[in-house]
Structures are given as C-alpha cells and as structure tokens.
C-alpha cells in the first residue's frame, strides 16, 4: 500500500515554504461539513464502515461530552474554541505514489530529516512503493482522519502481533476492541477525551499476544494536513502476559495561520510481566514568533499496569504545538508494577506547555520514576504538572520525581506544580526540582573552543536532556537531538 501523492505534494510545499508565513496547499479531499452533531458522528461511523455497537459507543460519548465543560485549570491561555467551526472528518483521495526514493524531491527528504523521521520511514511517508523492505521499523502513517499506510503487516502477523489502523481493528477484531477500548480512559474521563471518543477517526491498534516480544519497533506517524480540521486519533495497545513492545509516535503539521485542534487518546494495557515502552516525538506546528497559528494539543494518554510486575514507560520529547495539555499517566494496579515518565518539553516564542504525568499507585510495592526536563525560551511558558497518588493498598510504594527547568533568555517562564497524595504510611515519595539558566560563561566557553552560539546552545540543551534522551530508541534519540536544536534556533542573542 502506498501513501497518496497529495501527501508528497503537501510535504513538498512544507519544504519549499522554509517555515515562512502564509504557505498554502491544495489537496483533493473527502471532507465532512463543518460542525459537530449526531449526524456527523453517524457519517464518520458510516465512512469507517463501523458496526452498530461502535456507533452507539460514540453517541454515548457525545451525549456525555455535551454535559461537560472545557477544563480551565491548566496554565495555558487561548481564545475560546468554536467546536462547530471544525471539520471532523477529512481524508485525502488516493492516487498512485512515486515508485522509488529517487523520484522524490531531495528537498522533501531533507525536510523529513529536519523533522526527525528516520530515512526508511521517510520513504514510506513520501509514498514510495516498496520502500518498506529494508526497514527495521514498522510504520502506520495517519494523515488527517485516515491511516494511509501500515508496513510490515506480514512479518508481524507471523509473530502473532496485530498492528493495524484502529478502524480496521474495529471491523476485524471487534472482540478485542470491545474488551479494551475505553477501559483505561473511559468515555467520560475528561472533556477532550469524551470529544475524542465521539469523533475519533483513526489511529493505531496493537495487540501483542502472550509471551511474544514484538520483533521490531512499531511506529505511527501522525500528520494534520487539511485546513480547519481537527485530528482525533485513537491508539490502543494491549500487551498480554509476558509480552514486550516498543512503540514510537511522531507528529508534524504544516504551518497555518489559524489554530488547529488535536485531541488524541492513547490507551495502554499491560498484563502480568508485560512491558510497553511508548516514545513520542511531538513536533506539531508551534505557531509563529508572534504566537499566530499552531496546533492546540489536548491529549489524554494513560496506561494501565493491570498485571503483577508489568511495566509501562512513557518517553516524550515535546517541541511543537502552540498549546500542549498532556499528562501521560500510569495506573499501577498490579503488585510490583512499574511506571516511568521521561519528558523533555521545549517551548519557544509564544508556545505554552502544561505537561506532566500522573502516577497512581494501587498495587503493593509499585514503583514510579518521573524525570521531567522543561526548556523555556522566547516569551514561552512551560509548566510541569504532576500527580503522585499512593492509595491505601499500595504498601511499600515508591516514587522518585526529578523536575529540572532550563531558562534561555529572561522573558520566559518555568513552573513546577507537583501534587503528592500519600495514603499509605509505608510509601516513600521523593521530589527534587532545579531551575537553571544557560549562562554567558557556558556560551563563551563553548564559543572559545570554536562552536557557534547556536551549536553551543544545542550542546548544552542536549546535555541537560540527556537523562531523558537516553531512554529513547537509538535512531529516535539522534533525530530528537537535532529537533531540539531546530526548535531553539534563534532563541539566543
């Protein structure tokens, strides 16, 4: 299966734009009318050829959403979102893709390199047919509302692993979906999650059977393309007893002068002794230096460590979005289960990020580690918000939290808001926080050795984030390092 040529053209336009203002792309789209009501939800469900139970599930979520109000507790400010002024379904119409990497504009490939996508993946994303052969990473690419390419299905199938668009899973594996969908993030969990439940259009589904170690990294690449379109993807990953999977998620969007809404839900389920490693490099368009445009990123990510000794690790590098509202969490139900959260959040210009995690300790001797690195530059605001909750049953639970903030310049803000609730006296909770600035001495020292000012900032920032970057899979870490440098370009001096 190949991605459509529109994709190539759009990304091409992105490359040509040089991230300058006002670029425009014209794609042949299958677009639902603007607005949100039961008819739109029926239309989405029909387009996806969903069974009746799925439609009922969506309508129930929609009914819940209508009774809820948008949360205002985060330290982010934005104009009121008009939920009736958004397209809830957009799909590129398919044409034949280019046949080889050589046919793709080198500038396009260079763009992907700058965006942080490994080369073979880039070939897939550029829509090159057959480019998936030598890659070690299986990719599912989601453009706007639909999944356009999933690679390596055969290899994975042999291992018993299911990796497919969630729309396909709803049709082909209804029992699994029914059992787990909404079991970690219920329909009424929060405003944005409820919205997602009602209108989600695609995303990835992963099922690792008992005792299987997934033979390769799984990766989903999300891209918002169409104008005035919300993206509401839904990801569900299930690791049965003793299974292991490492999953990567990348996101980009072309730059536009209006804001676009992204409200995703990710649910992870880890059974006994299972491990899920979930890594994200989020590079949605952040808006320009005056804060115009950019993605509103309201995401609910939660993992349930259902079985004893299970482990869920969230690693995120957040450089994009105008607004980030995101708290990847772990519910540690199984005894001796482990939750980890490693985060780098970069804000520059007028970006606002309110991100962190929730670690809910339910089982005995559950352990969680939180390492958060916030980097603020320009006029941005960067908040770490985290909750560590020890329930009465969680005997001997332990948490360690490290929150470090790095400031570049004197117009930005860094905030740390830790909530700790301990209801078991045998639990141990540690919290450390630091705030530092890149100082003149460090910059001059690097420059005296021959580094340009921007390279010096890149080096210092990467050093600051090392504890998190080392948690990323190798090729992702290299790309993330480059991305950090790109995100902070022009932030000094």
Partner 1 sequence: MLKIENLHAEIDGKPILKGISLAVPSGEVHAIMGPNGSGKSTLSYVLSGRDGYTVTAGTATFNGIDLLAMEPEERAAAGLFLAFQYPVELPGVGNANFLRTALNAQRRLRGESELDAVQFLKLARAELKKLSMSDEMLKRNVNVGFSGGEKKRNEVLQMAILRPKLALLDETDSGLDIDALKIVADGVNALRGPDFSALVITHYQRLLDHIVPDKVHVLAGGRIVRSGGPELALKLEAEGYAGVLEQAA
Q: Does 445 bind partner 1 (CB under 8 A)?
A: yes
Whether residue 371 contacts residue 400, with contact meaning beta carbons closer than 8 Å, is answered with no
Instruction: Considering the complex, state which of residue 60 and residue 466 has its C-beta at the smaller distance from partner 1.
Output: 466
Candidates 21, 78, 419, 444; binder of partner 1 (CB under 8 A) is 444
Stretch that binds partner 1, among 329-337, 361-369, 384-392, 436-444 (CB under 8 A): 436-444
Nearer to partner 1, 325 or 464 (CB): 464
DSSP 29-84: EEEPPBS-SHHHHHHHHHHTT--HHHHHHHHHHHHHHHT------SS---PPP-TT
The closest of 266, 163, 286, 253 to 215, measured between CA atoms, is: 163
Of the pair 239, 457, the CB lying nearest partner 1 is at 457
Q: CA angle, corner 381, sides to 291 and 463, nearest 5?
A: 110
Least distance (Å) between residue 370 CB and partner 1: 18
Give min distance, CB of 431 to partner 1, in A.
20
- Single out the segment in contact with partner 1 by CB under 8 A; choices: 73-81, 94-102, 276-284, 437-445: 437-445
If the CB atoms of residues 102 and 440 are measured against partner 1, the closer one turns out to be 440
CA atoms of 229 and 89, how far apart (whole Å): 7
Binding mask 233-272 for partner 1 (x = CB under 8 A): ----------------------------------------
Q: Which stretch binds partner 1 (CB under 8 A): 84-92, 281-289, 395-403, 434-442?
A: 434-442
Q: Would you say 64 or 346 has its CB closer to partner 1?
A: 346
- Among the listed residues 69, 84, 133, 448, the single contact to partner 1 using CB under 8 A: 448
Assess contact for 305 and 397: CB atoms under 8 A. Answer: no
Supply the minimum distance, in Å, between the C-beta of residue 465 and partner 1: 7
449 binds partner 1 (CB under 8 A): yes
The three-state secondary structure class of 482 is helix
Residue of 452, 474, 489, 490 that binds partner 1 (CB under 8 A): 452
Closer CB to partner 1, 327 or 342, in the complex: 342
Is 451 one of the binding residues for partner 1 (CB under 8 A)?
Answer: yes
Question: Between residues 107 and 453, which has the closer beta carbon with respect to partner 1?
Answer: 453
CB 493 → partner 1: shortest distance, Å? 10
242 backbone φψ class: left, alpha, beta (φ>0; ψ -120 to 50): left
| Residue 91, phi then psi, degrees to nearest 5 | -140, 130
Taking CB under 8 A as the criterion, the residue among 447, 474, 489, 490 binding partner 1 is: 447
| 427 in Cβ contact with 394 (< 8 Å) | yes
Measured distance CA(6)–CA(317) in Å, rounded: 28
Count CA atoms closer than 13 A to 156's CA, side-chain side.
24
CB contact set of 14 (below 8 Å; sequence gap of 6+) = 23, 111, 254, 255
Separation between Cα atoms, residue 195 and residue 182, nearest integer Å: 13
> Among the candidate windows 8-16, 93-101, 129-137, 448-456, which touches partner 1 by CB under 8 A?
448-456
Site string for partner 1, 453-472 (x = CB under 8 A): x-x---xx-xxxxxx-----
Shortest separation between residue 319's beta carbon and partner 1, angstroms: 18
- Cβ 463 to partner 1 shortest distance, Å: 3
The single residue among 198, 308, 446, 480 that binds partner 1, judged by CB under 8 A, is: 446
Find the shortest distance in angstroms from Cβ 39 to partner 1.
54
In this chain, which of 17, 228, 402, 442 binds partner 1, going by CB under 8 A?
442
Q: How far is the CB of 477 from partner 1 (least distance, A)?
A: 13
For partner 1, which is the closer residue by CB, 425 or 450? 450
Looking at the DSSP bridge assignments, the partners of residue 246 are 277
**Count, residues near partner 1 per rule CB under 8 A:** 22
Residues contacting residue 418 through CB under 8 Å, at least 6 positions apart:
384, 385, 386, 387, 388, 401, 403, 431, 433
Contact 124, 149 (CB under 8 A): yes
| Closest distance of CB 242 from partner 1, Å | 35
Q: Contact 232/196 with Cβ under 8 angstroms?
A: yes
Both tokens of 491, joined, read 């932030």
Under the criterion CB under 8 A, does residue 13 sit at the interface with partner 1? no
Residue 105 and residue 12 in contact, taking contact as beta carbons nearer than 8 Å: yes
78 vs 445, beta carbon nearer partner 1: 445
CA dihedral 476, 480, 482, 486 (to 10 degrees): 140
How many other C-beta atoms can be found within 10 angstroms of the C-beta atom of residue 70? 12
Rounded CA gap, 465 and 484, in Å? 10
Footprint of partner 1 (CB under 8 A): 440-442, 444-453, 455, 459-460, 462-467
């Amino acid at each position: 299966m190949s991605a459509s040529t529109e994709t190539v053209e759009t990304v091409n336009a992105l490359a040509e734009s040089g991230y300058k203002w006002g670029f425009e792309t014209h794609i042949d789209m299958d677009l639902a009318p603007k607005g949100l009501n039961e008819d739109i939800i029926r239309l989405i469900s029909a387009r996806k050829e969903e069974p009746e139970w799925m439609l009922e599930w969506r309508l129930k979520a929609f009914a819940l959403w209508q009774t809820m109000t948008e949360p205002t507790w985060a330290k982010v400010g934005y104009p009121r979102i008009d939920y009736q002024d958004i397209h809830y379904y957009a799909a590129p119409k398919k044409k034949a893709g280019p046949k080889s990497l050589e046919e793709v504009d080198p500038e396009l490939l260079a763009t992907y390199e700058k965006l942080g996508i490994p080369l073979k993946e880039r070939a897939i994303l550029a829509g090159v047919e057959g480019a998936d052969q030598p890659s070690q990473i299986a990719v599912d690419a989601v453009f706007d509302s639909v999944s356009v390419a999933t690679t390596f299905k055969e290899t994975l199938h042999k291992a018993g692993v299911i990796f497919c668009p969630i729309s396909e899973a709803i049709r082909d594996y209804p029992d699994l979906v029914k059992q787990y969908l909404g079991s970690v993030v219920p329909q009424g969990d929060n405003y944005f999650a409820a919205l997602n439940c009602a209108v989600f259009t695609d995303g990835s589904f992963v099922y690792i059977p008992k005792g299987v170690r997934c033979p390769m990294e799984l990766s989903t690449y999300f891209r918002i393309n169409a104008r005035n379109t919300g993206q509401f993807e839904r990801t569900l990953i299930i690791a049965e007893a003793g299974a292991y999977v490492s999953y990567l998620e990348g996101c980009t969007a072309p730059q536009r002068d209006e804001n676009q809404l992204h409200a995703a839900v990710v649910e992870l389920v880890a059974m006994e002794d299972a491990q899920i490693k979930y890594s994200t490099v989020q590079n949605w368009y952040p808006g320009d230096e005056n804060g115009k445009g950019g993605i509103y990123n309201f995401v609910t990510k939660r993992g349930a460590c259902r079985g004893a000794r299970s482990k869920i690790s969230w690693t995120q590098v957040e450089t994009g979005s105008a607004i980030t509202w995101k708290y990847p969490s772990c519910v540690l139900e199984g005894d001796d289960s482990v939750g980890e959260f490693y985060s780098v959040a970069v804000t520059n210009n007028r970006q606002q990020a309110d991100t962190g995690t929730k670690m809910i300790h339910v089982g005995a001797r559950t352990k969680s580690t939180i390492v958060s690195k916030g980097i603020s530059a320009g006029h941005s605001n960067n908040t770490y918000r985290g909750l560590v909750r020890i329930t009465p049953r969680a005997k001997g639970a332990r948490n360690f939290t490290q929150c470090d903030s790095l400031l570049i310049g004197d117009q930005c803000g860094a905030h740390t808001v830790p909530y700790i609730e301990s209801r078991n006296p045998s639990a141990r909770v540690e919290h450390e926080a630091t705030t530092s600035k890149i100082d003149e001495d460090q910059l001059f020292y690097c420059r005296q050795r021959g580094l340009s000012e921007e390279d010096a900032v890149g080096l210092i920032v990467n050093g600051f984030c090392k504890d998190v970057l080392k948690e990323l899979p190798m090729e992702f870490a290299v790309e993330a390092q480059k991305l950090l440098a790109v995100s902070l370009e022009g932030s000094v001096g």
